[in-house]
Chains A and B, each alone.
Chain A
Amino acid sequence: MLELERVSREFALPDGRRYIALREISLSIAAGAFVAIVGPSGCGKSTLLNIAAGLLEPTSGAVRVGGGPLTGLNRHATYMFQQDPLLPWKTVRENVALGPVLAGVSQADANQRADTWLARVGLGPFADHYPLRLSGGMRKRVAMAQNWILDRDIVLMDEPFSALDVHTRQRMETELLSLCDVDARKTVVFVTHDLEEAIALADEVVVLSAGPEARVVARHPVTLARPRDLMELRTTTEFIELYRSMWAVLRDEVMKSQRTARG
């Protein structure tokens, strides 16, 4: 269970004025839910996720996680970054084993667990490679294993696949869904600017308004059955209807954000 209560966040601009990124956002995400957050670029989606992770403090409002208020970093959650987060001086295996090692597990035991996860994401033969020698898609899979090995309740993802090509991206989405199907207790908060991706993956799509002072404009349940076949899903009438109704809302916000950007 992850709850945001009237969360606002301001930033100081270089000229001394204050920029209000988020205004009084309240959002409660049930345990086990897969929620996608969409919105025009620059609307503060990543800010919202960083607040949920505890990497950023809200200017006002509160975050509640696991029944208690969040102080410091969110230890119930892992965070998958948009950028490449792997330590280049550690091998793939050492990178995946890092979380358990930090928690005090011996390197040998952690390596063993890492190997199991690497096999699961299909990177067993690359355990001894250094990350910079892998492709972008492979690095994403390592990052995924690095997060999921910790088995925390909440998985925060900030446009994790946006830098990948279309096919690799679809493969990663499929892998993400199969990981979620295996462990249905996981709560996933998935930030993306791509409505198609949001609908394909999530149980619920939250639409944020254009920034500044972003707020939640709509919450749409996604009624598509699971498990989903991502290769076929996007052409089904159900999917297209959902897309149409949500795009009607998102389109207004995107147009607003483009107007502010121009003005």
Chain B
Amino acid sequence: MARRSWFDRLTTSGATSTARSTSGAAASARSTSRAAASARPELVEGRVVFAWQIAFLVAVLVAWQAGVAFKLLDPFFVSRPTDIGRRMAMWIVDGTLVRHLFVTIEESLLGLLIGAVLGIGSGFVLARWPMTARVFDPFIKMLNAVPRVVLAPLFLLWFGLGIWSKVALAVTLVFFVMFFSTYEGVRNADPVLVDNVRMLGATERQLVRHVLVPSALTWIFSSLQTSLGFAMVGAVVGEYLGATHGLGYVIAQAEGTFDTTGVFAGMTVLGIVVVFVSLGVSRLERWLLRWKA
């Protein structure tokens, strides 16, 4: 027992573990070693993974910078990390970043929201009334097969250069993810749960509320990550093809003047935003699906 907890103290680094293990009493030592047995290894593993991720990033950046410095890479084509960093700092200072990023996020969220409402709604209708599903099946397949880039000029024509043409593009992407998740979720509701709740006295409406909707929600939440990514892709592609604001617009402008630093800076900002957003979404997902074992 004692040797075990000493081993844990040696293998777990950081202030929290020292603070807890020096608190003395035998009971606390026991609980520390038990906690170590269940939660700590994951925590340590997480830190190791994070350290490797940072190491990988630094290695790539150093190689890139060195490649340019030793004239192996032409900065005209690939820019260099220090320039990209400086450009991003400049954007933060002069307000460019906030202005354009805000527009992109606004478009993505609106696209996600509208696409979710439409997709979940129609998924539900088609799953509940199989006749409608059979009627609309070929049309849904046709629409889903249309490459979205083809739609972008049409949306520009219909909704103008402002945010709504981008929102529309995001909606066409989000809609189908949400639609298929809802459709499958409702149709795959466990028949035993359905029978049990009906035997307990549920009306059709209560059945929808207590079984079918939650069953579909588990599928919808699981596809939230994909939906959000698609919403951002829709917004940025829309901006790229014709806009006055947004990250896609910034990247397109930079490309137009062969400003590779600007292009890379725009892509980097987009990447960082996506990483943080998906972190938030996984947290949200874990909380919403907390009942899963």
Contact = CB atoms under 8 A, between A and B. Distances in A.
How many interface residues does chain B have, given as a range?
A: 20 to 34
Given A130-B290, A132-B292, A87 B202 contact: no
Interface of B: 192-193, 195-203, 206, 210-211, 214, 217-218, 290-293
Interface residues of A, number: 27
Interface stretch (A98-106, A168-176, A197-205, A229-237): A98-106
A108 B202 CA distance: 19
Nearest to A91: B291
B178 to A, nearest CB: 19
Given A102-B206, A132-B291, A87 B214 contact: yes
B159 to A, nearest CB: 38
A55 B210 contact: no
Q: Which 6 A-B pairs have the closest CB atoms?
A: A85-B196, A132-B293, A130-B291, A79-B199, A99-B200, A83-B192
Nearest to A149: B200
9 contacts: A55-B199, A78-B199, A81-B195, A84-B192, A87-B193, A89-B217, A91-B291, A102-B197, A102-B201
A150 interface: yes
Contacts of A83: 192
Interface of A is mostly: loop
A133 B293 contact: yes
A85 B198 CA distance: 11
Contacts of B211: 87
A73 B193 contact: no
B197 A103 contact: no
A103 to B, nearest CB: 6
B202 A79 contact: no
Nearest to B209: A102
Contacts of A147: 200
A80 B19 CA distance: 51
Contact of A55 (B193, B195, B217): B195
